[in-house]
Amino acid sequence: MNVKKIGIVSLSSGILGEDFIAHELELGLWRLEELGQEVVILPNALKGLDYLDQHPEARAQDMLDAFSDPSLDMILCAIGGLDTYRLLPHLFADDQLKKVLSQKIFLGFSDTTANHLMLHKLGLPTFYGQAFLPDVCELAPDMLPYTRSYFEELLEKGKIEEIHPSPLWYQEREDFSPAGLGKSMPSHPNQGFLHLQGPSTFTGPILGGCLESLYEILAGGRFPGQAELCQEYQLFPSLEDWTGKILLLETSEEKPSPEDFEKMLRKLKDYGLFDVVTGLLFGKPQDQAYMDDYHHILREVIDNPDFPILANINVGHATPRCIIPFGVEAQVDAGDQVIRFQD
């Protein structure tokens, strides 16, 4: 598939419609046009934070409209947020999403983890790791080279063939105002993929996402009734569904404390996840916050030295970002520092 037309949706936060990021929106749209893309912003995506907070049905309608539009090749999420789980009844109560589902590229990360699981329920492979506002709209003179290389590969081929480590990682930007336009972030040498334990090669289709999102789908805690609604619609995959897959986990910009990280990880362990998946890919934490602590806790909580863990993957909340296909057979090779994907 060669992507020619992209639809942008705000399925979680409505920040894309706020005046204070108009300069980022303008830059991102220009970059997509420079890449030869026709761009459609779905009707509710620019209605702002308050409106989309109060109207999850409007966010859901954009998702339904995007899948219904045969001219769109890719659905690109604007950004993550906190509560895209609230779309569930508007997409599943009457099989609304199932009725319009079509083969398209779906790309997003963070809270969008829940949308990936929604589409996984319906059998659609998706792509995790980048989004419009944090990546295409990056204020530096260009998209970050590593990030751009995977985004362009997805546009040109409709797939990702393999992932290698980034040679650099960047300190996260603090100033997103127009004053930040054209300014690069400080960069540091990267360590490559880190093989923490277990066999150096393992295989399986990848599934997962942001640890906080996965934890809240199971346990709730941020919003009243969140876990119950997710359970009603069986959003978190069953152990049978997880069997044979590779689990991807990465942490958010909230940089959870080691104590919170352990609590969330133990919830996944109690569910039985580490008894059925073939291995774990763990993303680089933003600004490398608590990285050594997280790696120690992973080994301690999983408590199985034969379980393979590959860490320091450049995906999710730390820049730069690759793109990881979900639902495609993957071969992880820590020795060769590569993750390959079958056609």
Cβ contact 136:143 at 8 Å:
yes
- The 3-class secondary structure across 280-320, one letter per residue, is EEEECCHHHCCHHHHHHHHHHHHCCCCCCEEEEECCCCCCC
pLDDT, residue 1, reads 77
Q: What is the pLDDT along the chain (343 residues), one digit of tens a residue?
A: 799 999 999 999 999 999 999 999 999 999 999 999 999 999 999 999 999 999 999 999 999 999 999 999 999 999 999 999 999 999 999 999 999 999 999 999 999 999 999 999 999 999 999 999 999 999 999 999 999 999 999 999 999 999 999 999 999 999 999 999 999 999 999 999 999 999 999 999 999 999 999 999 999 988 999 999 999 999 999 999 999 999 999 999 999 999 999 999 999 999 999 999 999 999 999 999 999 999 999 999 999 999 999 999 999 999 999 999 999 999 999 999 999 999 7
- Going from the C-alpha of 258 to that of each of 2, 196, 264, 323, the distances in angstroms are 42, 17, 10, 26
Q: What is the pLDDT of residue 108?
A: 98
Nearest to 270 by CA among 279, 259, 281, 262: 262
Domain 5-163 has CATH 3.30.230.10: no
- The whole-number pLDDT of residue 222 equals 87
Could you tell me which CATH class the domain 168-341 is placed in? alpha beta
256/96 Cα distance (integer angstroms): 35
The strand pair at 246-250 and 279-283 is best described as parallel
Q: How far apart are CA 221 and CA 64, in angstroms?
A: 28
- Is 212 in a helix, a strand, or coil? helix
- Domain limits of the chain? 5-163, 168-341
Instruction: Using DSSP, state whether 237 is helix, strand or coil.
Output: coil
